[in-house]
């Protein structure tokens, strides 16, 4: 009977622990065909109040910058690098440097050249770190797949 009670308690507490995992950033993805040969991939971060993610252009010695990578494909070519809107930039004492970041939301964009007329599957990964005024969470990854119709 004691073992059964212990098992029930253990299972119940496991649920409580997993409920406390912080996920202040939610990612969403979309694509828009601009022409027969060109499309743009949209990668949106919706960020909880008080949290932020870092720009792709953070200097060495700073926090982990956002890095977007794409799985190579015979169906498309990347046109340049992912673009981002103008970030908030301010001096961070912890890093002793100017740091650029986004709060609330940010939409990164990547133009691609299409090599086929049919639907094209674009896969990739986002490596990022999120912080608030009190703490930073460990860097995380978010894989994505977008279909360009």
Look at residue 4 and tell me if it is in a domain.
no
Output the pLDDT for position 72.
97
Identify the CATH number of the domain in which residue 35 sits: 2.60.40.1250
Look at residue 13 and tell me if it is in a domain.
no
- Alpha-carbon distance of 30 to 75, in angstroms, equals 17
Output the pLDDT for position 21.
83
Look at residue 11 and tell me if it is in a domain.
no
Q: Which residues of 41-69 are buried (b: 16+ CB within 10 A; e: fewer)?
A: bebebebeeebbbbbbebeeebbbbbebe
Question: Who contacts 58 (Cβ-Cβ below 8 Å, separation ≥6)?
Answer: 64, 65, 99, 100
Residue with token string 């046109």: 79
Look at residue 6 and tell me if it is in a domain.
no
Output the pLDDT for position 15.
46
Look at residue 99 and tell me if it is in a domain.
yes
Q: Is 148:122 a contact under the CB 8 Å cutoff?
A: yes
Domain hosting residue 30, numbered range: 25-148
| Ordered per-residue pLDDT tens for the chain, 149 residues | 455 444 344 444 444 444 568 999 999 999 999 999 999 999 999 999 999 999 999 999 999 999 999 999 999 999 999 999 999 999 988 889 999 999 999 999 999 999 988 999 999 999 999 999 899 999 999 999 999 99
Look at residue 116 and tell me if it is in a domain.
yes
Q: Is 38:116 a contact under the CB 8 Å cutoff?
A: no
Look at residue 1 and tell me if it is in a domain.
no
Output the pLDDT for position 147.
97
Output the pLDDT for position 19.
53
Tally of domains within the chain: 1
């Amino acid at each position: 009977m004691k073992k059964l009670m212990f098992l029930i308690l253990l299972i119940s507490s496991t649920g409580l622990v997993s409920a406390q995992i912080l996920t202040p950033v939610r990612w969403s993805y979309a694509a828009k065909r601009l022409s027969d040969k060109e499309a743009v991939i949209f990668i949106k971060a919706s960020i909880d109040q008080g949290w932020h993610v870092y720009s792709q252009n953070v200097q060495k010695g700073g926090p982990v910058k956002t890095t977007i990578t794409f799985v190579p494909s015979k169906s498309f070519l990347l046109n340049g690098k992912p673009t981002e809107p103008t970030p908030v930039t301010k001096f961070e004492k912890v890093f002793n440097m100017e740091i650029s970041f986004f709060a609330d939301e940010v939409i990164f964009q990547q133009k691609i050249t299409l090599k086929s007329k049919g639907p094209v599957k674009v896969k990739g990964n986002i490596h990022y770190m999120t912080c608030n005024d009190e703490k930073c969470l460990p860097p995380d990854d978010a894989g994505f797949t977008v279909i360009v119709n």
